[in-house]
Chain A
């Protein structure tokens, strides 16, 4: 089953507004990452937050992590038309087998910034 689930599935806002996307997950994690994907392109890593961190900033991005609720949020401030993309959260769910298991991605939030 999907580890990460983004909410909402789609979000349309006006340029200049703030966009907030949420992610919930099910199992214990070491870290949670957010990625961006423009249509038909590969994913681009935006930000990583470790399980012992509660908030992290990178430019216009702000990520929060609440491990007690198993949830994270991505805030994009002062949105721009170029921010239009799909945004995915990904987790490294701790498996009993260890090793380099891959990240588990949610289905994504499609963000549309209207000029």
Chain B
């Protein structure tokens, strides 16, 4: 069966520090992968999506970046975190837009 792993669950980082959040998918090949951010009491904002290894599309310009070094691995990074980067980060996969997404359990990032 397909599963998605996302870690860490919570993270507290100082302003200006780097960030690396990892997401891996098991049980499927060539999934579409997504990173979303959810601010408190808000909807989800699409940050990045990927249809294949090394293929990254960015929806929102910001100081975050994403990489897909392997078929089932999706990484969200930042060189220098800002206070405004705080939020709940969710990774998801799907076989296509016409199918449901499967979400990871999320990472609560607090930048202090």
Contact = CB atoms under 8 A, between A and B. Distances in A.
Interface of A: 2, 4, 30-31, 33, 35, 40-45, 48, 50, 88, 90, 92, 99-108
Given A31-B98, A43-B90, A88-B44, A102 B49 contact: yes
Given A2-B43, A101-B49, A102-B59, A42 B97 contact: no
A100 B42 contact: no
A43 B103 contact: yes
Nearest to A33: B100
A100 B32 contact: yes
Interface of B: 6, 32, 34, 36, 41-44, 46, 49, 51, 57, 59, 88, 90, 92, 96-106, 108
> Residue among B36, B46, B51, B100 with the most chain A CB within 10 A?
B100
B44 A105 contact: yes
Contacts of A107: 41-43
A102 B43 contact: no
B104 A100 contact: no
A2 to B, nearest CB: 6
A30 B97 contact: yes
Nearest to A45: B100
4 interchain residue pairs of minimum CB distance: A45-B100, A42-B103, A102-B46, A107-B43
Contacts of B41: 107
Nearest to A31: B98
Contacts of B90: 42-43
B98 A30 contact: yes
Contact of B43 (A44, A100, A108): A108
Nearest to B51: A100
Nearest to A102: B46
A101 B103 contact: no
B104 to A, nearest CB: 5
Nearest to B90: A42
A108 B41 CA distance: 8
Contact of A88 (B43, B49, B98, B99): B43
